[in-house]
Chain A
Amino acid sequence: MTGDGSGGIAGRYRSPLHDTRAAAVLGLALGVAFTTCFVTGLLSHAIQHPPSWFSWPARPAGAYRVTQGLHVAAGLASIPLLGAKLWVVAPRFWARPAVPDLAKGVERAMLFPLVAGGTFLLVTGTLNTFQWYPWGFSFTDAHHWAAWITIGGLVAHVGAKATVTLTSLRSRDRAGVAGRRRFLGAVAFGSAALTVATVGQTVGPLRRLSVLAPRDPQVGPQGLPVNKTARGAGIRASDVDGSYRLRVSGRVAEELELTLADLEAMPQHSAELPIACVEGWSASARWTGVRLRDVLRQARAADGAGVEIGSIQRGGRYRASTVTAGPADDPDTLLALRLDGETLALDHGYPVRLIAPNRPGVLQTKWVKELIVR
């Protein structure tokens, strides 16, 4: 037993598994998982809201699908880890006195942002993969700031427990090792089961095994999943008929108004690129269209300028995105007209969508109607 606060509710926990070593191992696993989530999550945030010093390259083309796939997989795998850890340390939760001294009081107080924040992140993150938002706050803002709140708690907890954890992990004390291994094995089994049941939404070859995955990378219009449908974006038939024009303006020598026929007459280029979304799923496809840089050259855009891509979609956070100079010049950054050889489906952004390597799904703007060179 850990030896603090016997009697009362704490004393009711008699299993020898409520020990320091089990807590240490689970703590280490959770630390690794949450740190992975924090780093990959912050990266995803920075790509979408770049601070002035940050730039995200266009290569390797599949880096974002890996980092975001890892983010969601690590988060889901943490679910049984967090539950088990809280069970192992449960006797301490009830320990009396609650605040023996100031240092211990602060240490315990910082557990609140860690436990509450960790739970909040796992719940909101998981529900986001289902696209279910039964709450009154903005998911992206709340999830992002809760991450900072939680990591602060994690840093404090690591600081408080570092010595005891390292001592415990290095200890050669063999008492209870078989029982503890079986227990930890059970927890690992839970994580593995959930991982196998879901990770096929981004790891294509496993898609048949992942019976609980909220997405299948091969299911959707034209065999590719969709987040925002045309109906969800408020796209009307009159927006995409013969009156459609792609307008190019801003820091250009020549403003353009291109019809769909004009775009189809330009040299076409194909690229195999993934759509990778924040929910942790990704799917690759063959896109065909006009190179963004070719359109910019035709308009004689200013050198080294970025481009704001605007959509027919009228509201919402993601109705426009920015392509910086580097990715704008990439030969695989396309204004796509075709998906796997077929004309783009309306739900995939007909008549034109942006598709670029190593770019989060929300920034692959659909129903593109204007390029503003800045």
Chain B
Amino acid sequence: MLLGGAVTLFGAIGLLRTIGDGLGSFIAYFVGGALLLDLVAVPLASGVGLLGRRRVPAAAWPAVRAGLVATATLTLFAAPLVADLGGRPDNPSLRPRHYGSGLLTALAVVWLGCLVAAAVAHRRYGTNSRNRPRSRKPTEA
């Protein structure tokens, strides 16, 4: 704990010595990122998860959830590329691909796999409560 605190302090001091005018912007991004994650992204994910568990057949849910995690990850990453934010038109070797169609291709591959897996699981286990993927509590969110 002490060592961790010392290392963090070392980092903070180094930052303050070199950041100059950028401190305000740094703080905004530093604090803002954590707030966005904890107060927006996580609850949103919980909401989607809740909805998914209720609407999707139980045996199919794990595969669908995997598809949703991959979708969120890929879309979050690719959004600035698809929206072409911050590109440099004088350098065509930067971002040389068509990212809109690339993202759609990637998502298509992901969902093809996940829906097949979901269908297989649903067929195999169906709504037979004995074979449903088990969890610790009888009631689950």
Contact = CB atoms under 8 A, between A and B. Distances in A.
A206 interface: no
A201 to B, nearest CB: 10
A110 B31 CA distance: 14
B93 interface: yes
Contact of A156 (B5, B25, B46, B74): B5
B133 A86 contact: no
Interface string A119-157: 110011011001111111110011011111111111111
B80 A119 contact: no
Contacts of B72: 80, 83, 190
B11 A15 contact: no
B18 A132 contact: no
Interface stretch (A174-182, A244-252, A289-297, A354-362): A174-182
Contact of B5 (A152, A212, A225): A152
Given A83-B45, A110-B1, A186-B65, A226 B80 contact: no
A194 interface: yes
A30 to B, nearest CB: 14
Given A110-B8, A215-B96, A16 B73 contact: no
B93 A226 contact: yes
A115 B38 contact: yes
Nearest to B103: A212
A76 interface: yes
B4 A212 contact: no
Interface string B25-42: 110111101101110011
Interface residues of A, number: 89
A205 interface: no
B113 to A, nearest CB: 9
A83 B62 contact: no
A26 interface: no
A159 interface: yes
Contact of B69 (A80, A138, A151): A80
Residue among B28, B33, B133 with max Cβ neighbours from chain A (10 Å): B33
A207 B136 CA distance: 43
B84 to A, nearest CB: 10
Given A79-B73, A90-B46, A116 B34 contact: yes
A327 B93 CA distance: 29
28 contacts: A15-B49, A83-B42, A90-B38, A106-B1, A123-B29, A130-B87, A131-B94, A133-B86, A136-B21, A136-B26, A137-B19, A137-B26, A141-B18, A148-B11, A149-B11, A152-B8, A157-B4, A158-B4, A160-B1, A178-B134, A182-B65, A186-B70, A211-B103, A212-B99, A212-B106, A219-B93, A220-B96, A229-B91
Interface of B: 1, 3-12, 14-15, 18-19, 21-26, 28-31, 33-34, 36-38, 41-43, 45-46, 49, 62, 65-66, 68-70, 72-74, 76-78, 80-81, 85-88, 90-97, 99, 102-103, 105-106, 110, 133-137, 139-141
9 closest A-B pairs by CB = A137-B22, A132-B86, A152-B8, A156-B4, A148-B11, A220-B93, A152-B7, A136-B25, A211-B102
